[in-house]
Amino acid sequence: MGTIIEGAGKGTAGRGLASAYLKAQDGPQIQFKRLHPDAIIPLRAHPTDAGLDLRAHYPENPTYASIAPGGRVIVPTGLVVAIPEGYVGLVCPRSGLAAKYGITVTNAPGIIDSGYRGELKVILQNTGDDTFTIEHSDRIAQLVITPALHVDVVEVTEFSSTDRGEAGFGSTGK
């Protein structure tokens, strides 16, 4: 088992607001295991945020990685997560990093399946014009947990028709 972590970051740390809100929703628990004692368990910055902030884990060297414009790097978090069956973790970009520096998650959203038990790592790409430096404990992405619908795969020779049909990109205007 484990301990439910109280608080949610800026503005709510120590008050337990996020935990109280989330516990009241009777949602599933997401378990994290530190691979290193100084790895940071992700929390929400605000009680109603969907994403948990993932942080870079580079304890040996406080400035581990620089991403040149157009470059990419795999960033460790020092954590393993146990996502419950029937759910999936989506690793999503942080809007502030994207807007200010052009830093995004290359395979956004990255998929963390419920059966995966390896270290959480994030593939970051620099779409900006300047080199970007990642330091130990920087917030690099967010993890959103959502239900995963499992469907049966069926091969068919025809589909039912719709008003849209095969109209694709740009078919509805600007």
The tokens describing 96, both together, are 């502030």
Q: What is the rounded distance in angstroms from the CA atom of residue 64 to the CA atom of residue 140? A: 13
Q: SS3 of 121, please?
A: strand
Whole-angstrom Cα Rg for the chain: 19
Instruction: Note the Cα 44 to chain centre separation in Å.
Output: 11
Average pLDDT value for residue range 26-45: 91
- Identify the band that residue 169 occupies on the pLDDT scale cut at 50, 70 and 90: confident
46 vs 11, higher pLDDT: 46
For residue 82, how many other CB atoms are within 10 A of its CB? 14
The domain 30-147 having CATH identifier 3.40.640.10: the answer here is no
The domain limits of the chain are 30-147
Question: Tens digits of per-residue pLDDT, 132-151?
Answer: 999 999 999 999 999 999 99
Instruction: In whole angstroms, give the CA distance from residue 72 to residue 86.
Output: 31
Which runs of E-coded beta strand occur in the chain? 31-34, 52-55, 63-67, 72-82, 87-92, 103-105, 110-112, 119-126, 132-135, 139-147
Contact 167, 131 (CB under 8 A): no
**Overall pTM > 0.75:** yes
Confidence of residue 24 (pLDDT cuts 50, 70, 90): very low
CA-CA-CA-CA torsion sign (124, 125, 128, 134): positive
